Amino acid sequence: MSDEDKKATPEAGTEAGPTRDAPTGDAPTGDAGPITEAGSTKEATVAAAPAPAPAVPKAPAKPAAPPLELSPAGKALADAVAGLGFDLGEARPDSWGNPTFEVAPDRLVDLGTALKAKLGLSYLACLAPLDWPDRWEVAYHLYDFERKTWLALKTRIPKDQVQIPSVTPLWPAANWYEREGYDMYGVEFAGHPHLARLLMSDDWQTFPLRKDHPMDLEGGY
């Protein structure tokens, strides 16, 4: 453990410097419109993110969602993550008080390495891709045994790009989750050791969980 610690510490330290202003510095070079927006307006994303669903009419007389706040354990974990020196902005709570951080795809592996080495987050509980109308999103849920809470990392890529760095070398549990993500959404996890279909048969043609994929496939595929 201590070996890893020593190895990872300088790496993370050097990485943290140049990448600190990556979200603002990187985004204009690529035409990653949604990423810039996401990077700059972190706090507004809870309210803004689910909004683009054109099919659903706004129901006015709805019980509003209760105000969100971090659980005490989540607060402690969020502070610890903020102390790592990655400029992640403020943690956003989900409805169970777990902190959520946005992270740009190119810093994901660096952040993951630092989290694993310095905070001991080696337990990847869940990995879920999402298909939003304007972007792909991948949510990683890590469990912290010390503070007894989950940490969510979110990374997003524009619709026309389906490459995202793989975290399988960091967390072996991600192996099948990423294969499933590829199988269901067609999101490619660059650097994955064996990115093949997992749940569907090898010769399956479509990506079933994409939003434009129909529920039923009449007449085969």
Q: Which residues bind other proteins (CB under 8 A)?
A: 46-47, 49-51, 53, 56, 58-59, 62-66, 68, 94-96, 98, 100, 122-126, 128, 130-131, 139, 141, 143, 145, 148-150, 152, 171-173, 175-176, 184, 196-203, 206, 208-209, 211, 213-217, 219-221
Residue 104 Cβ, how far from other proteins at the closest point, in Å?
A: 20
Residue 157 bridge partners (DSSP): 136
Long-range contacts of 169-178 (CB under 8 A, 24+ apart): 170/109, 170/112, 170/113, 170/116, 171/112, 171/116, 171/122, 171/123, 171/124, 171/142, 173/123, 173/124, 174/124, 174/127, 174/140, 177/124, 177/126, 177/127, 177/128, 178/127
We find the least distance from the C-beta atom of residue 82 to other proteins, in angstroms, to be 20
Q: Which is nearer to other proteins, 10 or 214 (CB)?
A: 214
Residue closer to other proteins by CB (options 29, 201) is: 201
> Quick one: 28 or 64, whose CB is closer to other proteins?
64
CB of 163 to other proteins, least distance (A): 21
Minimum CB–partner distance for residue 86 and other proteins (Å)? 21
Q: How far apart are CB 195 and other proteins at their closest, in Å?
A: 12
Nearer to other proteins, 28 or 67 (CB): 67
When the beta carbons of 18 and 220 are compared against other proteins, the nearer one is 220
Report the candidate in 65, 33, 62, 24 with the shortest Cα–Cα distance to residue 47. 65
Residue 19 or 113 with smaller CB distance to other proteins: 113
Listed in sequence order, the residues at least 6 apart from 189 whose beta carbon sits closer than 8 Å to its beta carbon are 164, 165, 166, 167, 168, 178, 181, 182, 195
Distance of closest approach, residue 94 Cβ to other proteins, in angstroms: 5
Secondary structure (3-state) at 158: strand
User: Is 71 within 8 Å of 123 (Cβ atoms)?
Assistant: no
How far is Cα 114 from Cα 14, in angstroms, rounded to an integer? Answer: 12
